[in-house]
Amino acid sequence: MQILIRNIDRKLTEAEIHELFTKYGKVISFTLVMDEKTGLSKGFGFAEMPNFDEASKAISELNGRKIESSALRVKRAANSSVSKKRG
């Protein structure tokens, strides 16, 4: 399942967010979207987790959780093939 993570504190690194998601299961990939001009985080990213149950738990437990100065907004990405299959 592909997961969209928004409202990421811009001081957090890709490795820190990746580690946060690995507490819930296997993470195939994580990408923190960066501004090409400034090289700074745009405050959102995508994680891909192969196990539906682990991904669902990560979403439910991390959505609204405050990390640094921001409360994360976590949900299934609209183009997640698993989300389309499961409803």
Mind listing the pLDDT tens digit for each residue in 49-79?
Answer: 999 999 999 999 999 999 999 999 999 998 7
Average pLDDT over residues 12-29: 95
User: Distance (Å, rounded) from C-alpha 9 to C-alpha 14?
Assistant: 11
The fold adopted by the segment(s) 2-74 is: Alpha-Beta Plaits (3.30.70)
Q: What is the CA radius of gyration of the chain?
A: 12
Domain regions of the chain by residue span: 2-74
* pTM of the complete model: 0.85
pLDDT at 35 over 70: yes
Which residue has 């090289």 as its token pair? Answer: 39
pLDDT band at 80 (very low <50, low <70, confident <90, very high): low
